[in-house]
């Protein structure tokens, strides 16, 4: 989703790295590049201006200009401002004690309300609730049938009436849930191609009749600034409790996610990241900010893998994490991970794993790139997969012949794998602040290429550059020798 803004921000921040001294002037130059990156991502102009003003004021402060590595401080400031821009978020959906909890979903036609209703019902059922889906979208005849099909797939009951009117359907649906002892009601309301008085009046009547505990605006992230404008209009009419952003797995620039909270003051509660009914996630501003900066989302990746592999015990997940932290991550493990989470979508996986997206050449389909990498691994012997260091020139030529690639591609892949393994090992034992410090020395473009200067600047296992004091002590020791 944020591929464009990741690349643009990476280039903007890279200009601040490697300088002997950072001044107020070049900080402002760098922030202009950040501003351009945000505008290209379709972030609201007012949001961008306020963001840049806050970040610049903090960046030109004496604490930053006098620090040993100002670029580290600036990246942390940008990260913190991104988190503030999108958060905080409370993912809890309050549950009524003496009656069914009522959740009203609203939005424009085509935003994905009906599918999101099913996804939300599945998520609540997995939390131990007993949901009821109410088909209140009578504008689109297929909506009732679609919701019934989703209910059958999920084994969740669906209440419908036809012919009728939406207000009556919603009121009777809530009464039915109380009769059959269901504790949560999800109202799937009708949408329009655009906001009009008839739509708003209908929603207000439903709100007055059913008094929903939570009102969520379902928003198509691919509509860009129109999504923000729609969210504001619905909030003015209904007093929203949250936003559910859909189609984040599509070709969207991410501007809606960065703008909605600031413009409407309504948090993004959940995000849809795929067509499958399991593809609804709580929205975490911290993780999204990490992905925008290019740090990846290892925690989100682990959770997604665990959701797919529910049979895997906590002990097994802990064992995998410990293995990763020790650096015992082999090409066999690498190959298995691709197979295990293939159903999650390769593009989503590559965005979440730090450094992985650099293995895919620009413009190449991630699926094609992954199959090529898997072919390289399959052409290796068991010894080579467990210990890639033994792969010399003659072995590279043999592997290349078996995989149908050139020998230099094998060399490049092994170099990238080694750096990803090192980076993942470092991040496995780091706090968020330590990760951000390490990212001060890592640029998106070419950061994991063999021979990259980044690898020479950073001490393996620590993720930071040696300070002037450390270098001076080393010189003294050499003189004594």
DSSP string, 400-416: HHHHTS-HHHHHHHHHH
Question: By percentage, how much of the chain surpasses pLDDT 90?
Answer: 18
Give CA 344 to chain center in angstroms.
Answer: 13
Q: What is the pLDDT of residue 414?
A: 87
Q: What is the pLDDT of residue 250?
A: 56
Instruction: Give residue-wise pLDDT tens across range 99-108.
Output: 999 999 998 8
Instruction: Give residue-wise pLDDT tens across range 291-350.
Output: 776 555 445 544 554 454 444 455 555 666 666 556 567 888 777 766 655 555 555 555
- Extract the tokens encoding 254: 């991410």
Q: What is the pLDDT of residue 462?
A: 35
Phi–psi pair at 184, nearest 5 degrees? -140, 135
Could you tell me the pLDDT band of residue 15, with boundaries at 50, 70 and 90? Answer: low
> What radius of gyration do the chain's Cα atoms show?
26
Q: How far apart are CA 421 and CA 17, in angstroms?
A: 24
Nearest alpha carbon to residue 68 among 477, 467, 480: 467
Q: How far apart are CA 137 and CA 191, in angstroms?
A: 8
Q: What is the pLDDT of residue 69?
A: 61
Q: How many residues does the chain have?
A: 481
CB-count burial class (<10 Å; 0-12, 13-18, 19+) for 310? exposed
- Given a cut of 60, whether residue 435 has pLDDT beyond it is no
Q: How far apart are CA 381 and CA 402, in angstroms?
A: 11
Q: Which of 42-56, 316-330, 461-475 bottoms out in mean pLDDT, i.e. has the lowest?
A: 461-475
Contact predicate 29/15, CB 8 Å: yes
Q: Which of 59-73, 154-168, 391-405 bottoms out in mean pLDDT, i.e. has the lowest?
A: 59-73
DSSP string, 58-113: HHTSHHHHTSS-HHHHHHHHHHHHHHHHH----------SSS-EEEEEE--TTS-H
Residues 148-160: b if buried by 16+ CB within 10 A, e if exposed? eebbeebebbbbb
Residue owning tokens 């969207």: 252
Helix (H, G, I), strand (E, B) or coil at 425: helix
Which pTM value belongs to this model? 0.64
Q: How far apart are CA 156 and CA 131, in angstroms?
A: 7
- Extract the tokens encoding 407: 């020998």
Q: How far apart are CA 441 and CA 155, in angstroms?
A: 50
Give the residue-averaged pLDDT of 252-277. Answer: 80
Q: How far apart are CA 267 and CA 288, in angstroms?
A: 14
Q: Of the CATH numbers 3.40.50.300, 2.40.50.140, 1.20.120.140, 1.10.600.10, which one belongs to the domain with range 3-86?
A: 1.20.120.140
Give the residue-averaged pLDDT of 143-151. Answer: 91
Q: What is the pLDDT of residue 169?
A: 93
Classify strands 158-159 and 101-106 as parallel, antiparallel or unpaired. Answer: unpaired
Nearest alpha carbon to residue 39 among 17, 13, 8, 10: 8
Return the bridge partners of 281, or none.
271
Helix (H, G, I), strand (E, B) or coil at 465: coil
Q: Of the CATH numbers 3.40.50.300, 3.40.50.970, 3.40.250.10, 3.30.70.60, which one belongs to the domain with range 101-293?
A: 3.40.50.300
Angle between helices 24-40 and 70-86 (to 10 degrees): 40
Q: What is the pLDDT of residue 124?
A: 93
Contact predicate 352/298, CB 8 Å: yes
CA-CA distances (angstroms) from residue 391 to 394, 405, 413, 414? 8, 16, 12, 9
DSSP string, 315-354: HHHHHHHHHHHTT---HHHHHHHHHHTGGG-HHHHHHHST
Contact predicate 450/420, CB 8 Å: no
- Extract the tokens encoding 351: 């965005």
CATH class given for the domain over 298-457: mainly alpha
Nearest alpha carbon to residue 255 among 439, 89, 86: 86
Q: What is the pLDDT of residue 134?
A: 93
Could you tell me the pLDDT band of residue 445, with boundaries at 50, 70 and 90? Answer: very low
* Domain residue limits, the chain: 3-86, 101-293, 298-457
């Amino acid at each position: 989703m944020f591929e464009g803004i990741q690349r643009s921000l990476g280039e903007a921040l890279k200009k601040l790295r490697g300088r002997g001294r950072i001044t107020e002037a070049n900080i402002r130059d760098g922030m202009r590049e950040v501003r351009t990156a945000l505008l290209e991502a379709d972030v609201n102009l007012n949001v961008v201006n306020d963001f840049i003003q806050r970040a610049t004021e903090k960046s030109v402060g004496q604490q930053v200009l006098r620090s040993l590595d100002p670029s580290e401080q600036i990246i942390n400031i940008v990260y913190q401002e991104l988190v503030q821009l999108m958060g905080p978020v409370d993912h809890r959906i309050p549950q009524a004690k003496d009656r069914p909890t009522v959740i009203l979903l609203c939005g424009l036609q085509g935003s994905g309300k009906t599918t999101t209703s099913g996804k939300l019902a599945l998520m609540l059922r997995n939390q131990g609730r007993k949901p009821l889906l109410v088909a209140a979208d009578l504008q689109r005849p297929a909506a009732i049938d679609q919701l019934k099909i989703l209910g059958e797939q999920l084994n969740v009951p669906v209440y419908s009436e036809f012919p009728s009117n939406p207000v009556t359907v919603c009121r009777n649906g809530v009464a039915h849930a109380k009769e059959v002892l269901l504790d949560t009601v999800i109202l799937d309301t009708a949408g329009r191609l655009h906001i009009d008085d008839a739509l708003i009046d209908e929603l207000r009547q439903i709100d007055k009749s059913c008094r929903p505990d939570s009102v969520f605006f379902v928003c198509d992230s691919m509509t860009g600034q129109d999504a923000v404008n729609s969210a504001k209009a619905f909030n003015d009419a209904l007093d929203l409790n949250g936003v559910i952003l859909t189609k984040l797995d599509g070709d969207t620039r991410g501007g809606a996610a960065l703008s909605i909270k600031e413009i409407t003051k309504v948090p993004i509660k959940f995000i849809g990241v795929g067509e499958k009914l399991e593809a609804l996630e709580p929205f975490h501003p911290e993780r999204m900010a990490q992905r925008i900066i290019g740090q990846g989302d290892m925690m989100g990746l682990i959770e997604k893998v665990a959701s797919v592999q529910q049979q895997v015990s906590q002990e097994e997940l802990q064992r995998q994490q410990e293995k990763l932290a020790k650096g015992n991550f082999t090409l066999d493990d690498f190959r298995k991970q691709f197979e295990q989470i293939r159903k999650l979508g390769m593009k989503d996986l590559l965005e979440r794993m730090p450094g992985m997206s650099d293995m895919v050449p620009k413009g190449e389909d991630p699926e094609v790139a992954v199959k090529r990498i898997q072919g390289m691994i399959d052409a290796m012997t068991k010894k080579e997969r467990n210990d890639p260091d033994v792969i010399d020139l003659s072995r590279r030529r043999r592997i290349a012949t078996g995989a149908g690639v050139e020998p230099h591609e094998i060399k490049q892949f092994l170099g990238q794998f080694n750096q990803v393994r090192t980076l993942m090992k470092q991040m496995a034992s780091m706090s968020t602040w330590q990760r951000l410090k390490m990212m001060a020395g890592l640029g998106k473009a070419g950061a994991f290429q063999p021979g990259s200067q980044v690898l020479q600047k950073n001490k393996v296992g620590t993720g930071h550059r040696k300070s002037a004091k450390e270098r001076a002590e080393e010189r003294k020791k050499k003189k004594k020798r």
